Chain A
Amino acid sequence: MSADTRSPASPRTPVYAFVGNPNCGKSTLFNALTGLKQKVGNYPGVTVEKKIGETYSQHGHPIKIIDLPGAYSLAARSPDEAVLRDVLLGRRADTPQPDRIVCILDASNLERNLYLVHQILDLGRPVILALNMMDLAAKSGLEIRVARLEKELGIPIIPCEAANGKGIVELRLAMSRSDLPLAKHAWEIPAPIAPAVSELAASLQENDGKAPFSARAEALLLLTDQDTVRVTGSKPLHPRTSAIFHNWQKRWAGEGTDWAGSLVSSRYDAITELCSRIVVRKANVGPSVSDRIDQVVTHPVWGWTSLAGIMALLFLSIFTLAELPMNFIDGRMAALADWVKSVMQAGDFRDLITDSAIAGVGGVLVFLPQILILFFFMGLLESTGYMARAAFIMDRMMSRVGLNGRSFIPLLSSYACAIPGIMATRTIEDQKDRLTTILVAPLMSCSARLPVYLLMMAALVPGERVPLLTKVSIMLLMYSLGTLGAFGFAWLFKRTLLKGEPPLMIMELPPYRLPRVRDIAFHMIERAWMFLKNAGTVILALSIVLWFLAAYPKAHDGATTTQQLEQSFAGKAGHTLEPVIKPLGFDWQIGIGLISSLAAREVFVSTMGIVFNAEGSDENTAPLRESMLKAKWPDGRPLFTPLVCLTLMIFYVFAMQCMSTLVVVKRETNSWRWPLFQIAYMTGTAWVVCFIVYQTGHALGF
């Protein structure tokens, strides 16, 4: 019987929450049930993805499903887990409290998975258990007595294999039931803390207006939840309740009772006892396929070799496979601009559309293929289970700079684009580690720097074509500079600004699975859309502003583009900037490029095109290269000496020249403080390093 009588949503669509450990196949099941009827958003105030989907009961009535982030326990340590806890407890005003809960379990690992279930059964809500990965359990020699478990707990248990589409129908059927039994769920709360639980529960009922059942659950949670993660958007506790809580805390601290520990162990005791009755372990089946793969992949030597191989393949495909669609998008955008030019009258408005809106948004769109390929690979590595192994291998190296293996994945993604990289930091539990990772991620050379590097290399090397060896070694130099910078700064930040506990990593390595292309595709589309929405809107706005700055105030009639630019706000800003960048060997014209590429690094190339008035597209750097090489200082010295080209590349390695990243960092850290700090330290470093390089090079006679 559904015990609660509240009515969260006005038309009574039942709301289910999907809950489970990470890697239990929750998303696969969610996708199988909801298909494309999903809405992905964010929980306000925190950067945890909010996934809500819709499906239909067997009678065709709609059912709402909230896919909650995976967690091992309701005691929250990361924002993800805090959201799970708060949604289930109805602490979030922005999300309806779910009426019913579907717990998804990895059947091959029942004991650990049942811990979260045990906590959830405390909530006193109707629960359905989906025993996923029954096939894996059978393969590893486990027999699970489903009927027995059903009898013991008194709730529906659905065995399924989400990856093979088995059990979905049965689950839908169970979810369609109008009444669901409550679990027979009794366990002994350890004696020393039982009075505290009942006192807290009473206060929660009285002062915080909780239902009797969930009050007890909340009281239990308060005792194990260190409350390190206070999430904005959650309702705070009543002062009376927190006073009682602190009293007990003080008392136990005085007596030396390990209340959290004894609660966790008594839960495990109950679970172990339950498992002994329902899980039959057949004779040892020997090392599984996963074990055998792990022997190679986590091997001290072969592990590194395979990781290096996979990374090489990843970058190779990002840079080669993406070329064709990138050229296509580039061509389409150019064609669109030409079309607009042909149908509209010449004038400022037309220029606004073609030179700023289309060019700006096109500049972002061009990176979409690379980002999609990156996400495809990331999804592939994630869904096969390799990602956790990569983090395991990298843990040692990362711990040298004070981070743990989990920071590796965000940093790796940042080689393609810092935005997905920064979004991937959400799984890092420790707030300081997460912030450090966010701060250094943009130092990893992203793909937007490539056009700048390529242009500078073309100007650097005499002759029409850059020899491959030179190209590769300069590229390698730039990438390693950025990587070293990222690790160096991580080391520095973890020792000064974000001093914290030495890193602890406890991470599950899920068994290997065949990848689910459908899930990866979902993920890719979702991420790509988020990227477009975030970056697209910001870039569009900024492109318009920049265009305005370059187009006004108007020069006299008949002025060339170059004269116009010199006259404009941007030109004046370039002149103003010149004293600051002159020690780096840059003049005001490069200054304009630096300013305009604050929006996005690749804009530098197109700005150089305007400044040096080269005809032709961005892709073809040859004519631009020639006019750049003709550029001179007023005293006749050539502007783009090899040293200046090199310095400029180094500047782009370090400088924070990406508005979209700043916006994402602002969103992820919830304040403008960190993005501003990022500009200051990154661009500051860029200036200092460039100053040293240029002045040393100059003194040496280059």
Chain B
Amino acid sequence: MSSPEETKPTPLVRLTELPVGASGRVQELEGKTEVCQRLREMGFCESAVVEKVSGAHTLLCQVCGTRIALSDRAAQHILVEQIRRSA
């Protein structure tokens, strides 16, 4: 983690808003229980690190060592804290 946490907590962004190539740590899942559970089971659980590989409409992410495609409606449920800028 690069930014000093105690001084200024990094704002949470939706996974859809994370720039392509950047990584984020999942902080919160919001929305319907079923969707959240599905997301968690696929690896998007709290504190998991997600790298957004590509995508505008359908996202391509690297999480838990797997590549996962998810539609933006699903990605909106995921709130992340950006931890790495795009390379």
Contact = CB atoms under 8 A, between A and B. Distances in A.
Interface of A: 72-73, 75, 77, 108-112, 115, 140, 142, 224, 226, 228, 258, 260-261, 264-265, 268, 272, 290, 294, 298-299, 388, 391-392, 395-396, 399, 404-405, 502-511
A509 B58 CA distance: 13
B69 A115 contact: no
Given A504-B73, A505-B71, A115 B66 contact: no
B67 interface: yes
B73 A503 contact: yes
A502 to B, nearest CB: 6
B40 interface: yes
A77 B32 CA distance: 14
Contact of A109 (B37, B57, B64, B74): B64
A85 B4 CA distance: 46
Contacts of A290: 67
Contacts of B40: 261, 264-265, 268
B57 A396 contact: yes
Given A112-B42, A504-B74, A508-B42, A258 B67 contact: no
A158 B81 CA distance: 38
Nearest to A389: B69
B37 A261 contact: yes
B36 interface: yes
B42 A405 contact: no
A226 B40 CA distance: 15
B29 interface: yes
B57 A399 contact: yes
Most chain A CB within 10 A, of B29, B46, B64, is at B64
Contacts of A142: 65
A72 B68 contact: no
B54 interface: yes
Nearest to A74: B41
B39 interface: yes
Contacts of B60: 294, 298, 392, 509
Contacts of B53: 294, 298
Contacts of A396: 57-58
Contact of A111 (B35, B43, B57, B58): B43
Specify the main secondary structure of chain B where it touches its partner.
mixed
21 contacts: A73-B41, A75-B41, A112-B64, A112-B66, A115-B41, A261-B33, A261-B37, A261-B40, A264-B37, A290-B67, A294-B67, A298-B60, A392-B58, A396-B58, A399-B57, A405-B58, A405-B71, A502-B73, A505-B58, A506-B71, A510-B67
Contacts of A508: 42, 66-69
Interface string B66-87: 1111110110000000000000
B34 interface: yes
A388 B69 contact: yes
B23 to A, nearest CB: 13
Nearest to A140: B65
B33 to A, nearest CB: 5
Residue among A108, A268, A511 with max Cβ neighbours from chain B (10 Å): A268
Interface string B45-63: 1111000011001101000
Given A72-B41, A112-B42, A265-B40, A503 B68 contact: no
A507 B43 contact: no
Given A260-B37, A395-B58, A506-B74, 6 more contacts: A109-B66, A112-B64, A392-B58, A504-B74, A506-B68, A510-B67
Nearest to B41: A73
Contact of B35 (A388, A392, A504): A504
Nearest to A507: B69
A650 to B, nearest CB: 34
Contact of A268 (B33, B45, B54, B69): B45
Closest 5 CB pairs of A and B: A509-B67, A395-B58, A392-B69, A264-B40, A505-B71
A115 B57 CA distance: 28
A388 B34 CA distance: 23
A506 B33 contact: no
A500 to B, nearest CB: 13
Nearest to B43: A112
Nearest to B67: A509
Contacts of A392: 58, 60, 69
Contacts of B68: 506-509
A142 B53 CA distance: 21
B21 to A, nearest CB: 12
Contacts of A260: 33, 36-37
Contacts of B46: 265, 268
Contacts of A507: 68-70
Contacts of A264: 37, 40-41, 45
B83 to A, nearest CB: 16
